[in-house]
Chain A
Amino acid sequence: MYDYIVIGAGVIGSAIARELARYEAKTLVLEKENDVANVQSLANSAIIHSGHNPTPNSLKAILAVKGNKLYDEMEKELDIPLLRTGAYVIAHNEAEEKVLEELTETTRMNGVSEYALIDYETAKISEPNLASSITKVLSLPTTKVTYPWEVAFACMENAVMNGVEFRKNCEVTDIVTTDSGFLVKVNKRDIIKTKYIINAAGVCTDDIAKMVEREVPYKIQGRIGEYYVLDKRVKGFANHVLYPLPTELGKGVLITPQYHGEILLGPNSKTVDNKHHPSTSFEGLKYVKENAALLADNIPFNQIIRSFAGIRSSADVEDFYIKESKEVKGFYHLGAIESPGLTAMFAIAKYLLDDIIKISQKYSLKTDFNPYRKKPLKFNTLSLEDKKQLIAKDPLYANLICKCEKITEREILNAMHGVLGSDTIKGIKKRTRAGAGLCQGGYCEEKVMKLIAREFNKSPLEISYDLNETKLFVEETKVKKNV
């Protein structure tokens, strides 16, 4: 019997798991995908917003500003990647400048610690490619950029190291309420007992809630956001996150420098019926190009290495829904976590545990909780001397697997066998960036495949790109099939 089952291992579920790990509470995280951070947390802008535009006094506003600050602390504890870019929200004319001024007032009301309205000439000094049609800019220095699934990995690794259990490929298919808590059915088959449930299932939060409540207080639709990725060779083209003025559709098409040097253009915003199928479209990508061009001049579109679409929750309620269920005690909603979810994640976890669950009244703190987690070594960032020393002890650091991102065999093996290891091509790509660069796996996918086969003693026929059910190969040629 568990104390807490957390459903969902995206950034929210991972942050909650890490907070729960501080307490003497037996915690299990169930994730239906084959990896941590595989849905919403995988495909977004990666921005830690300043908290400049949510409605004042909303949870979104309060937790975004708190969450933004917490990232500085978490950077030290969890060794997460942070790029301190700052941001510019831009206006092109007098009418837009008026809106910008209103936005500045919202920024002030939300308690954002640093902000300033500056003119185009001043803004251009540190942002040389800023579109010449821009007149005024709201500067938000506290805006940062991270790498969302690395943040989720960091939280979940630390949680697991501190005693939290994590299971992937576990879809919650039914929940039965009992006197002492809940029976959670997984994959239509296994039954796990728990006192409490924390529903952090992202786009599926309303589906999970339906298993327990008669009237779910929110409905989640899917909203597709399409992006272009420019190769890291354009690093320096933009230094800040560039926002247009926000609309009801959201924050709009942005230009976002990424932690590893690439630049993201996007997203658009398109509500869809099927919340499980993020797909790109001609119109969507065209919209991204056209609107990105309003922010900067001479965007190097010829450096596009890929495009992708992410699904985001789009709820029918205004604010984050972080409450205990009105119908069923012990069932906690993390519903309607849309933007600024990534920004607020650490504050959301603390808010849930301190304000909603009031966990210190239920469980004591672990005396041996270790808040620190070190990120995996990125060999190419070491000095030449350090590299040579490391190779002398471990020659696999000299075997270059991914030529484009300069990833070595040892780094890949570490990613396979780590605390949150993976045996899929995509899992390795998320952890090491092997296959995420210029040639998109053309040179290295075969090598990674062979390493997976060797390390996990698998036939290549058993190797998956992502989901277990979907294999890289359909058959081996010239081999008699078993009758």
Chain B
Amino acid sequence: MYEIIVIGGGASGLAAAISAKKANKKVLLIEREHSLGGILNQCIHNGFGLEVFKEEYTGPEYAYKYIEEFNDLNIDYLTDTTAMNLVKRDNIYTVSVSSVKNGLLDYECEAIIISSGCYERTRGQIIMPGDRPNGVITAGSAQRYLNINGYLVGKRVFILGSGDIGLIMARRMHLEGAEVLGVAEIMPYSNGLTRNIVQCLNDFEIPLYLSHTVTNVISDEFKRLKSIVIQAVDENFNPIEGTQKAFDVDTLLLSIGLIPDITLLDDLSVEVDPKTKSAKINQAYETSVEGLFICGNSLQVHDLVDNVSKESERAGRCAAMYLDKVIKTRKKINIVPKKNILFVTPQFIDFGWEFTDLIVSFRANKKIEKALLKISQNEKVIFQKRLFFVVPAEMETVSFPYKDLDKESDLVIELEEL
């Protein structure tokens, strides 16, 4: 029997499995696709690894660094294997998997690490009025078809959403021969890294329409996309009459957000945070169900894979610690996001886990040039830090020592505008 099973063999799962194995635990990793590496396999652009390796890598190269270490440690793993079900009984987890090679099998373990990444928000989940022709597709799907299979989904492209995936695909489609007519972004600022605005849009004179969104989708007689209309929006994101701009395109790429994939948790009653759309965790990446850990994009959508790796490495160590039964009496307090904080992880502190430092990640809910981060308990500030150019598009992580906290009162985290 395994001690820890890791669900997902992308950046997160690989890092978690490696650190759990290094802590001498029996680890099994389960991956649905044929190869390890996850989404990194289709992220052929560079920008990965500057923090972890002090070198700039493309996605596949970054993945390979972890895959090599993973293989060197001889960690057991299954590919082409889908985890179907996860249940817990008497402190034992059972993962049911399905694969052509082995049929239906159950694996038991004492701790689970969920590293199942996220899926893309689709048109259906936002209100985008108009026809429903072929040609409206998520940027990640278009990226996979282009970079893995070698097919262009369209020749005249418009992109909704200026997050990195949208910007990267603007450049990519353009270089492979498509005309990219523009990128629309509903916020008044771009979501993606500024360097990507330069090297994906400015370099190719692709216009960026801030504070705009798509308000109509028009189909041709063969149910193919023919044109779209974008409009400027006001501060409440309502379209402004008279600002319509039409574009003749055959493809609309959607880069409108990622949603953590926690479908495997359906049969376990984990507490879910509607703001992160994932399970709530304590400072050890443990959900409200003991021994169930979650990290990477399936915990919270990250901006840099380096942070996914660091977070998942910690989660792997925590899962190993859980097996060593070093957790003392469990006692929980909440970390409550308040002023200008969109969400915070962890959402709990469990005093059973004795760490010296608390690592907290959060996103601001608006752009703040000069901010003061304050973490308090009972109105007393226990940690504060000045931050500059805080934006919702960049998740911030701070670390500070914590001891002698009141075990009965919640912590409050807020951002003050200076």
Seen from chain A, the residues whose Cβ lies within 8 Å of a Cβ on chain B are 229, 233, 277-282, 284-285, 302, 304-309, 384, 387-388, 391-392, 395-396, 398-400, 403-404, 406, 408-409, 438-443, 445-446, 460-461, 464-467, 469-470, 472-478
Contact = CB atoms under 8 A, between A and B. Distances in A.
Contacts of B217: 279
Contact of B263 (A404, A409, A446, A460): A404
B140 interface: yes
Contact of B141 (A302, A391, A438, A445): A445
B219 to A, nearest CB: 7
Contacts of B261: 439
B127 A307 contact: yes
A233 B125 CA distance: 15
A196 B22 CA distance: 78
Nearest to B85: A406
Q: Which of A439, A446, A464 has the most CB of B within 10 A?
A: A439
B397 to A, nearest CB: 27
B125 A477 contact: no
B124 A475 contact: no
17 contacts: A277-B131, A279-B217, A280-B127, A280-B129, A284-B129, A304-B125, A306-B125, A400-B98, A406-B84, A441-B141, A442-B122, A446-B144, A446-B145, A470-B224, A475-B152, A476-B152, A477-B150
A196 B267 CA distance: 57
Interface stretch (B64-72, B99-107, B163-171, B347-355): B99-107
B144 A279 contact: no
Nearest to B127: A285
A442 B138 contact: yes
Nearest to B128: A280
Given A304-B124, A467-B223, A476 B99 contact: no
Contacts of A477: 146, 150-152, 176-177
Given A460-B151, A477-B150, 18 more contacts: A278-B131, A279-B131, A279-B217, A306-B124, A387-B104, A395-B103, A398-B103, A465-B223, A467-B223, A470-B223, A473-B152, A473-B153, A474-B154, A474-B250, A475-B151, A476-B151, A477-B151, A477-B152
B21 interface: no
B155 interface: yes
A470 B100 contact: no
Nearest to A446: B144
A250 B153 CA distance: 40
A442 B140 contact: yes
A231 to B, nearest CB: 10
Nearest to B250: A474
What's the dominant secondary structure at chain A's contact region? Answer: mixed
Given A442-B122, A473-B153, A475-B151, A398 B98 contact: yes
Contacts of B80: 399
Contacts of B108: none
A473 B104 contact: no
Contact of A403 (B32, B100, B140, B239): B32
Interface of B: 32, 80, 82, 84, 98-100, 102-104, 119-120, 122-125, 127-134, 138, 140-141, 144-146, 149-155, 176-177, 215, 217, 219, 222-224, 239, 250, 261, 263, 266, 274
A443 B144 CA distance: 11
Contacts of B130: 279-281
A391 B104 contact: yes
B258 to A, nearest CB: 10
A438 B261 CA distance: 10
Contacts of B132: 278-280, 308-309
A305 B131 CA distance: 17
A343 B102 CA distance: 45
A439 B125 CA distance: 10
Nearest to A395: B100
Nearest to B32: A403
A304 B119 CA distance: 15
Give the 9 A-B CB pairs with smallest separation, nearest first: A306-B124, A473-B151, A400-B82, A469-B222, A439-B119, A465-B134, A470-B224, A281-B129, A440-B122
Contacts of A279: 129-132, 217
A469 B140 CA distance: 25
B87 to A, nearest CB: 13
B255 to A, nearest CB: 13
A306 B100 CA distance: 32
Contact of B145 (A438, A466, A473): A473
B191 to A, nearest CB: 19
A472 B99 contact: no
Contact of A282 (B82, B124, B129, B153): B129
Nearest to B216: A279
A396 B223 CA distance: 33
A289 to B, nearest CB: 10
A410 to B, nearest CB: 10
B94 to A, nearest CB: 12
Contacts of A409: 100
